[in-house]
Structure 1
Amino acid sequence: MRVLPSGRTRTGVVAHRGRADRVPKIADVVLPAARRRAGACVTVVCMTDTTPSAEPTPAGAERPLPIRVLLGVAHRWPTWLGLAVMAQNAFGMDDGRPQALIVFLAALIYLGTALVGRPAVVWPLFIASVVGVGVARVLDADPWPALVGGAVCVTVLALVAGVARRAPLTALQLPFLLVFGGAAVAALSLSPAIGSYLVAAALIGHAVQDVIVWRANQVVTRSLAEFCAVLDLTLGVAILLLV
């Protein structure tokens, strides 16, 4: 009998191999069952409907047409608000110079918002200015001294805060206040016809700025820019037609 280096005889190795051949392998027991289960799974999968589903329904397509129209109208609420304010100011108008207050406030509010640096602040500033002018009229007080004084203060603060060194559209609010605000104040001292035309030109010019701001989505929120653009443009045209 020959002794192998491992210390086992060749006969032992053969015997061991013979026993290993007689012992059933785990794979021989497990794999047939696995194949049977796999076949069942394949059968189930094949019975599943694999027809491509229909195209997804666009969002809002299931809503009735009147509901979609109302939602579209409600989405444009700044436009309707601007038209309403324009109609209120244009009703019975025979002199456009009082509308100089609107373009002056618009330029002042834009600069105030640029100074703060937060576009969403424009609506609180707008509401505060409307309330302030309303209170002055109820008290039969002239709002112009307070408005001009406020514009001077805001301009000085904007210069100190470095608004002129910010983004171009933000920095332009300083000269815009001087141009539009100066035109509004100057119109008050002119004749009704010339003053009205100057106010109309300032309103239409500010409407152009509103559109630029709306497209850039800077300085003020888009809702205020849309409202102001509609109000300025339509009111300026109304002055040209009615005065």
Structure 2
Amino acid sequence: MTTVESPRPIKLVDRWPTALAVVGLAGAISVIVLLDREVELFGPVVVMMAGIYMMAYAVGRPRAAWVALAALSAVVSVLHALRQAGVLPVEPAVGMSIVVVLLWLWAVARRRFTDGGVFWLQTAGMVGFGAVTLVCAALAPRWGVVLAGTGFLAHAAWDAYHFRIDKVVDRPYAEFCGVVDLVVGPALIVAAFA
């Protein structure tokens, strides 16, 4: 007689990435509601999200996505502060796109391109999300916000794919980011027309 083990029931503590995302969402939604700078603040985040994946990929450790989130959030915040102070000669969207290209060059220098398909998928993500960010900065604010919201929704699909394949970033990060993207994307689109 063989015994079949039933899967372990999912406990609330297993959903900590979703709980963490809800905390982050409180801040993001507050910014959307209280400030009228959605395209300026959220446009660069679209490419930053691709940069988090690229940085974790370059390091070669999926859990590095959490460190990349902290590091690149700090970078985009500094870019905004420098722009507000009149020190940064370019938009934060352009600055963040340059940072992500530097991360790609770092991945190349680490010879990550030998991974073939995974490298090219991350490169395509970087280019696609980078293009969304740059176009957001170039459009009229309302349409830039709509495009940023669409970029967040597209990144939610990116997160879901990476959650399923369990590569590049760890599953908890993909879950966290996916939840954030699924709420912030529509919130930005609604804010554009409110």
The TM-score by the shorter chain falls in which range? 0.7 to 0.9
Gaps of 5+ in 1: 1-57, 61-67
Instruction: Give runs of ≥4 in structure 1 deviating > 6 Å.
Output: none
Structure 1 window deviating more from structure 2 (146-155 vs 205-214): it is: 146-155
1:234 aligns with 2:183: yes
Partner amino acid for 2:11? Answer: G
**Greater CA radius of gyration, 1 or 2?**
1
The equivalent residue for 2:72 is 129
- The count of aligned residue pairs is 177
Q: 2:18 aligns with which of 76, 79, 85?
A: 79
Deviates more, 1:72-81 or 1:196-205: 72-81
CA–CA distance in structure 2, aligned partners of residues 94 and 233 of structure 1? 21
Cα–Cα, structure 1 residues 135 and 160, in superposed 2: closer, same or farther, change >3 Å? closer
- When residues 134 and 196 of structure 1 are mapped into structure 2, their CA distance, relative to the original with a 3 A threshold, is closer
Q: Distance between the aligned counterparts of 1:127 and 1:178, measured in 2?
A: 22
- Displacement of 1:146 after TM fit? 4.4
**Matched residue of 1:220: which SS?**
coil
Higher relative contact order (CA 8 A, sep 6+): 2
What residue ranges of structure 2 are gaps of 5+ in the alignment? 1-5
* Alignment-derived partner of residue 107 in structure 2: 158
Seen in structure 2, the aligned counterparts of structure 1 residues 199 and 137 have a Cα distance that, compared at 3 Å, is: closer
More helix per residue: 2
| Identity over aligned pairs, percent | 27
Check conservation: 1:94, 1:242, Cα contact below 8 A: no
Q: How does 1:1-150 map to 2 (within 5 A)?
A: 72-91=11-30, 92=33, 94-97=36-39, 98-135=41-78, 140=84, 143-144=92-93, 146-150=95-99
Q: Deviations over 1:134-181 (max 9, x none)?
A: 455566555555423322222223334443441534430111011102
Task: Tell me the C-alpha RMSD between the 2 structures.
Answer: 2.7
- For normalisation by structure 2, the TM-score amounts to 0.78
Establish whether residue 200 from structure 1 lines up as the match of residue 168 from structure 2.
Answer: no
